[in-house]
Amino acid sequence: MPTPDFVLKLREKIGHDLLWLPGVTAVVFDDDGRVLLGQRADTGRWTLITGMLDPGEEPAIGAAREVLEETGVTVRIESLVAVHSEDAIEFPNGDKCQFMNLVFRGRAASGQVAVGDDESLAVGWFELDALPELAGTHRARLQWALDFSGETHFQR
């Protein structure tokens, strides 16, 4: 994903130091119970649809925006299913960041699934019993969305 302008401006001031950033994950299901995944261009891994919120952006709106931009699917966000802090990461250029991730469950409302930007190599709907390999954090987020019964998951 191209680095947002606000992050580039911060990096001019703080260099590679750790940034704490708000992130979103959208666990999107279609009417057949399939889940929407994207294959990342930077790593080749399949993931749930994720992104970074813009300053002042409402989280659910940001999650829906990310899904539309990356996949061409319009999503109706149903629930906030989890809030969690991810481990800090360091990018190849030395930039460090850590995300507070808000995980939303949503239902596809319209649109044809298609790669929408240069962040993904492929996007598609997957049956839950035929998923490609997912990182543990993405598998956990998917499970939180599947298990959601009205109580948001967070560390206690």
pLDDT confidence of residue 56 = 94
Average pLDDT on 29-45 reads 94
Please state the three-class secondary structure of 124-137 as a single string: EEECHHHCCCECHH
| Residue 150 pLDDT grade (very low, low, confident, very high; cuts 50, 70, 90) | very high
pLDDT confidence of residue 43 = 85
Phi/psi of residue 110, nearest 5 degrees? -165, 175
| Domain chopping of the chain, boundaries | 5-146
| Cβ atoms of residues 128 and 34 within 8 Å | yes
d(CA 129, CA 44): 21
**Across the chain, what does the average pLDDT equal?**
94
CA dihedral 43, 137, 46, 80 (to 10 degrees): -120
Give strand pairing partners of 82. Answer: 103, 153
| Residue 37 pLDDT grade (very low, low, confident, very high; cuts 50, 70, 90) | very high
Domain 5-146 part of CATH 3.90.79.10 = yes
Structure tokens at 55: 């300053």
d(CA 26, CA 23): 10
pTM to 2 decimal places: 0.92
| Residue 118 pLDDT grade (very low, low, confident, very high; cuts 50, 70, 90) | confident
**Each residue of 56-113: pLDDT tens digit?**
999 999 999 999 999 999 999 999 999 999 899 998 889 999 999 999 999 999 999 9
